[in-house]
Structure 1
Amino acid sequence: MIVGALLSLVGVPLLVGGLALGWALMTQRDGDGFFTTPTEHISSPSVALTTRALDLGDLGPDDWWADRDVATVRLRVTSREPRPVFVGIGPSDAVAAYLRDAPYDEITDITDNDPFRYTLTRHGGDADSAPAPTRQGFWTAQASGGGSQELTWDLRPGTYTVVVMNADGTAGVDVDVVAGGRLALLTPLAAGLVLVGLALVAAGALLLVRGAGSASPGAPPARPGTRLTADETPPSGFEVSPVRVTGIQDAHLSRGLWLVKWVLVLPHLVILAALWLVFAVLTVVAFASILFTERYPRSIFDLNVGILRWSWRVAFYATSALGTDRYPPFSLTARDYPADLDVAYPERLSRRLVLVKSWLLALPHLIVLSVLSGTWGWTFGNDGARLSAGGLIGALTFAAGLLLLFTGRYPSSLFDLLIGLNRWTYRVIAYVALMTDQYPPFRLDQGPTEPGPGQIPGSFTPRPDADEAATEASLDADGDAQAAASAGH
């Protein structure tokens, strides 16, 4: 399971990167396959504008790309003055020797944020002009003439400098420049990233499914009732939710442990980050299966339920309830733990609903969840560290932590409310993830367990706090003792 999570954690970014690169290749290039910059205005009172020396390596046996058109650059230069313009690329040593007697400006720094800025560094001598560049024979590539001039060059090993100047070598360069680049390997690179990413995600999903289908050695069996199916018959007059979320509060909770629980669960969060990527990918697979077969593959379903169960245990422990000090297990299967979650497996799902329920039908719930859900923790910035809370669940959980810290008590009414809010959240997640066709109710089923037969859905039986429960138990014990004494007499 861990290997599968790691493979998926590597595969999903590769897949997303390959798809993003493919999208860029299809939409961001011009008709000749070049990625281009916006048109930028550059001017200098000197004889020429040059770039820094571009070191592309020395021609040798390791320069396999020397005789291949691996990369191509294109420069389009338009003079703002009514005179011909010249653009050329040549060996850096030859360019420096050619311009040593005339002043020229080297572009040393370019910032492409709005507005466009550049820095010029002056080199050369004091001559009024330079020999006409069109008469020099060292240029690797060149273009000159009136209007716009375009230079295209396939990169080769060596050290080169780009030069823009007037075609007659006189001072005063004022041009608009558009640069472009084309890499021949981008298309196979995008395809390779997609293929490798798909292979890793598929292998990771298979390992996760296999790991989820077999319990760990020595793992305790699932508790009765945790394996639900959609065809179970509920008690008369009572509607059983397909999503069952439970959370039993510890009788005694540490006052200050909650302050560091977010650190203690970091190993869980790393694994869950990978598992939720797998969850998203497998939900897409399940969508296709439901659309064509009306069935949610059971192995994928069990794995996704396990991811929800694992997430709920971590949230119950550290971020969304603070209901227990027992460290959550690293497991997708049902365990003897105060928090549990299960979803009834549907034998059939609607092909029509699968097209709209995740985004359209669930929209009212998603709006509610934008208020209910959130996380809290420490954020660090230039102005120091501060505590941030997100959503009603995060704020109430933080309030529960403060009550624990200063009073040592966690009111059962607040705990029951938090469980109800989390129960609502996970019901909506299961619906959006296509795991059920039963629309989530707009209600808070509060309390540690799901509403039972005879209860009104959305209500709960208030439970006394731990201190009150201990007092009542003591009174009951005294009453029993007195009754026994009376019977003895």
Structure 2
Amino acid sequence: MRPIRIVSLVAGILLVVVGVGLGTAGTTVLVTSAANGDEDGFLTTPTFDLQTSAYAITAEELELVASPADWAPARELELRLTVTPDTGPVFVGLAPRDDVARYLDGVAHDEVQRLDLPDAAFTARAVDRTPAPPAEQDFWAASVEGSGRQTLDWTAEPGRWAVVVMNPDATPGLAVTARAGVQSSLLVPLGAGALAAGLMLLAAGVALIVGALARQGTGARQGTGVGQTGTEAPLGAAGPATPTCSPVAVVGRLDRPSRGLWLVKWLLLVPHAIVLVALWITFVVLTLVAGVAILFTGRYPPSLFDVNVGILRWSWRVSFYGYAALGTDRYPPFTLEPADYPADLTIVHPERLSRGLVLVKWWLLALPHYLVLAVLTGGGGSWVVAEAGDGTGWRLALGGGVLGILVLVAAVALLFTARYPTGLFDLVVGINRWAFRVIAYAALMTDEYPPFRLDLGGGEPTPPTAPQAPTGGPTHAPVPTGQPV
């Protein structure tokens, strides 16, 4: 890649990551405001039952940091505490923490440490004296008193504060239900602003990534086997694709993995994981754009198709190197293009796609495959590699489902025999091949329904018109780059 494209790719990845973070934060704020707000716009906690045989219940962990900016959110923050006594009147007050500590010094009271549904955790204070009635104190910043539900509202100020709930006559024994809420006039604008900024950064990042990775011109695409129409044979194919061949070709060739490198591949794969997070966000965005284009034109834009195929190819190489196959110790290249590597993926670019299938194939038609793949690949998992006497240990994540178990068996076989069982490798590659075919179908890259089969073997099965590999050739030799099968 040219330096300018490398710079664009790095900048795009950074913008995508920041954009997703801002968008997620903004969406969380807006959804939380809409879902948990009361009639006055306060975000409220659930209702908690609090009771004590002591004189008071306190919460002393309220601390607000001072800010010199007049527009700081803390200055726009309003707190609301709603307390309902089981019987009789109740006093609710908020005051500086030091004043509350002096007032209750030596007085039996329970301090709320945390609120866990349905109970609250308390720290009991030793009894030594009887307090004076709370209403007689002059240090309260805000207070309410009376029978029935009492609501204390307070505009936040910097400092260290404490909330006190007592009987007005300072007698022991208290049972109440309480709920806290917070409101800020800046909350919704901040959420909307973060969401808008996140979407703009995401769009800019995706545009930079596409600009950096998209190949220019049909000639470049022909040299990769990607971007071909369904009626043309990709470069290197022995003949035109037959109707019985899948447009998605996933190739994996066993490449002498070592005994123990798989123990540290999780660390070696960190750079790829960071890049792939941004690339898969780009993949989703481009798929949405392509879906709209297919819906109105029946065509998948070739430039977007090339980038998405490259992302799948990159993902397959990393998966093949990593814990989805452990098929090689050759480090995956940082490129979307075909390369001299034991794993490869190509997809024939369709000349036309069904407009109507765009609306149903990614969720309804692909549902049977999702159910099967949930069993084959699982939702993730881990196995204990080393465990200490206290039950703690280092866990190595190898995935879940049948695939995870097979890869774990292969890893143990490599560790003790330095050999990867051939039949096991074929099964592992077959499950991965099934998964990538379903991804390509759900991502609108083909209308051909994925077959319910593994297609065992490292290389894809060749069409009837393709020449056979010479006798004595490698067991898992891949088909020529770009061959649709």
Please give the TM-score of this superposition, normalised by the length of structure 1: 0.79
1:236–1:75: structure 2 CA closer, same or farther, 3 Å change rule? closer
Moved more, 234-243 or 20-29: 234-243
Amino acid at match of 2:120: F
Query: What SS class does the counterpart of residue 116 from structure 1 fall into?
Result: strand
Check the 8 A contact 2:226/2:349 in 1, yes or no: no
Q: d(CA) in 1 for partners of 2:115 and 2:70?
A: 33
Check the 8 A contact 2:225/2:348 in 1, yes or no: no
Which one of 268, 273, 280 corresponds to residue 277 of structure 2?
273
Cα deviation 1:1-50 (Å, max 9, x = unaligned): 23322322232232222212211111111111112233333334454444
Cα deviation 1:323-354 (Å, max 9, x = unaligned): 44432211011122232211122343323211
1:436–1:170: structure 2 CA closer, same or farther, 3 Å change rule? same
Q: d(CA) in 2 for partners of 1:406 and 1:463?
A: 31
Which one of 296, 303, 306 corresponds to residue 302 of structure 1?
306
Check the 8 A contact 2:49/2:118 in 1, yes or no: no
Are 1:242 and 2:251 counterparts?
Answer: no
1:463–1:85: structure 2 CA closer, same or farther, 3 Å change rule? farther
Are 1:29 and 2:31 counterparts?
Answer: no
Superposed displacement of residue 297, structure 1: 3.1
Check the 8 A contact 1:47/1:103 in 2, yes or no: yes
Q: d(CA) in 1 for partners of 2:269 and 2:99?
A: 62
Q: d(CA) in 2 for partners of 1:358 and 1:204?
A: 25
Check the 8 A contact 1:78/1:175 in 2, yes or no: yes
1:9–1:395: structure 2 CA closer, same or farther, 3 Å change rule? same
Radius of gyration: which is bigger? Answer: 1
Q: d(CA) in 2 for partners of 1:253 and 1:463?
A: 25
Cα deviation 1:221-259 (Å, max 9, x = unaligned): 985645432232774864232212223344x55455445
Determine the structure 2 residue equivalent to 1:451: 461
Determine the structure 2 residue equivalent to 1:343: 347
Query: What SS class does the counterpart of residue 27 from structure 2 fall into?
Result: helix
Which one of 422, 434, 453 corresponds to residue 444 of structure 2?
434
Query: What SS class does the counterpart of residue 152 from structure 2 fall into?
Result: strand
Determine the structure 2 residue equivalent to 1:86: 91
Check the 8 A contact 2:228/2:350 in 1, yes or no: no
Superposed displacement of residue 195, structure 1: 1.7
Superposed displacement of residue 400, structure 1: 4.2
Please give the TM-score of this superposition, normalised by the length of structure 2: 0.80
Q: Unmatched 5+ residue regions in structure 2?
A: 1-8, 234-238, 478-485
Amino acid at match of 2:455: D
Sequence identity, in percent?
Answer: 48
Question: What are the equivalent positions in structure 2 for 1:162-241 lying under 5 Å apart?
Answer: 162-214=163-215, 225-232=225-232, 235=240, 238-241=243-246
Amino acid at match of 2:406: L
Moved more, 26-35 or 338-347: 338-347
Determine the structure 2 residue equivalent to 1:13: 21
Check the 8 A contact 2:382/2:399 in 1, yes or no: yes
Determine the structure 2 residue equivalent to 1:327: 331
Amino acid at match of 1:7: L
Check the 8 A contact 1:223/1:336 in 2, yes or no: no
Cα deviation 1:66-121 (Å, max 9, x = unaligned): 99861111122222233x32222234565566667x83525252342443332232
Check the 8 A contact 1:73/1:152 in 2, yes or no: yes
Determine the structure 1 residue equivalent to 2:70: 64
Superposed displacement of residue 451, structure 1: 3.0
Amino acid at match of 2:193: G
1:305–1:195: structure 2 CA closer, same or farther, 3 Å change rule? same
Check the 8 A contact 2:73/2:184 in 1, yes or no: no
Q: d(CA) in 2 for partners of 1:214 and 1:92?
A: 64
Amino acid at match of 1:297: P
Amino acid at match of 1:75: L
Q: d(CA) in 2 for partners of 1:285 and 1:346?
A: 16
Q: d(CA) in 1 for partners of 2:463 and 2:109?
A: 85
Superposed displacement of residue 212, structure 1: 1.0
Superposed displacement of residue 464, structure 1: 5.8
Moved more, 146-155 or 443-452: 443-452
Query: What SS class does the counterpart of residue 274 from structure 2 fall into?
Result: helix
Q: Once superposed, what is the RMSD of the aligned Cα atoms?
A: 3.7
Q: d(CA) in 1 for partners of 2:336 and 2:242?
A: 33
Query: What SS class does the counterpart of residue 52 from structure 1 fall into?
Result: strand
Superposed displacement of residue 151, structure 1: 1.4
Which one of 65, 72, 80 corresponds to residue 74 of structure 1?
80
Superposed displacement of residue 152, structure 1: 1.1
Q: Unmatched 5+ residue regions in structure 1?
A: 470-489
Cα deviation 1:267-291 (Å, max 9, x = unaligned): 2223223322322233233333333
